[in-house]
Amino acid sequence: MHIILNVDAIQPPLTGIGHYALQLARGLRRHSAIDDLRFFSAYRWLTDPDQALRANQVLALARNRVPCKTLALHLYNFARSQLFRWQTRHFHHHLLHTPNYILMPFAGASVTTVHDLSYLHYPQHHPRERIAFMERQMPRTLAQATLIITDAESVRQELIDQLGVPASRIQAVPLGVEDHFHPRTPTELAPVLNRYDLADLAYLLVVGTLEPRKNLPRLIDAYSRLPETLRQRHPLIIVGARGWLTEDLERRLAPLEQSGQIRRLGYVAQDDLPLLYAGAWAFAFPSLYEGFGLPVLEAMRSGIPVLTANRSSLPEVAGDAAILIDPEDVDAITAGLERLLTDSAWRASAIDRGLEQSRRFSWERCVDETVAVYRKALAG
């Protein structure tokens, strides 16, 4: 098979989609069924996915600083599409895969990964230029794609029910979890926990970009209703890059940060993240909507109990190993947090079930099932 992989999403700080694209790129390089694999990002060919992580850093900085973002995004996408069309004019026997929604024009077979439809469900939680871009480009992408990949069956069903995509054109391919997420000994944890001043703290961990869909304002309201002794014993530690539309979140964070009951670590080094998971007392992820919910899987594989939402793809990932709550019910989140932090018998059982559930997901399986989609698309 001859594959072109668009690696635009592999840029710092790596989000869930960036991790997916990076793991997919690395796995495809090793796969025996791939005869020719080429990486394209922005306007040029790259030699390997780790080069993309370095090369795309400048692009990410420029995107954050450019004025008139809607117009700039439209012009950039048009120019890039024309350049890609020219650079691939002799690649008709290749398959193009974009792991981040929007396909560039291409004459051969193509596959896109649609991670979620949050731009339709929660447009108020996205920057306006992103909504305009998705509304303009998604219909063309769905028409162009030979086949479509989703991370979860729930998103596959949304594409069928809400956008009218034939079921035969969509395949759900679950994501994986890296091997360095696993339980750790106190000796292993000590250097990283000491560096972040978390040693000897039974902290409640949250991981995710600070943006409205992650539902952090309600989580903070729920956490603030816990008994003060419980909050003192289990401070809330938030890991994640600053996103967008965070004014409401900042107002809620301020008093609890001043009292030391909440701390933000920002975006942390990828080598540190598995140890921050494994050192936590528990993990909370009451997101309003997720296409997969990779942090839930990483937390379970790290051997810590999890609270998450009872909607979208999250029950598929968590199985019976987590406390599932209505993410819009602050009282339910509070009750769930109290059980998550204090119910010793449930915690022990949840850790075992979480480890077992997480073993069902691997990047090897994700890559193999993706290659099977390529084979089907090329045959069609």
Give the tens place of pLDDT for each residue, 145-185.
Answer: 999 999 999 999 999 999 999 999 999 999 999 999 999 99
pTM of the model: 0.90
- Rounded to whole angstroms, the Cα distance separating 302 from 354 reads 9
The first and second tokens of residue 12, run together, are: 């710092």
CATH class of 186-358: alpha beta
Q: Where are the domains of the chain?
A: 2-176+362-379, 186-358
How would you classify the pairing of strands 2-6 and 95-98?
parallel
How would you classify the pairing of strands 306-309 and 282-285?
parallel
378: pLDDT strictly greater than 90: yes
2-176+362-379 and 186-358 agree in CATH topology? yes
User: Which CATH code, of 3.40.50.2300, 3.40.50.920, 3.40.50.2000, 3.40.50.970, is assigned to 2-176+362-379?
Assistant: 3.40.50.2000
- Rounded to whole angstroms, the Cα distance separating 244 from 215 reads 13
pLDDT digits (tens, 9 = 90+) for 70-92: 666 667 777 787 788 888 888 88
189: pLDDT strictly greater than 70: yes
Q: For the CA atoms of the chain, what is the radius of gyration?
A: 21
pLDDT digits (tens, 9 = 90+) for 110-136: 999 999 999 999 998 888 888 988 999
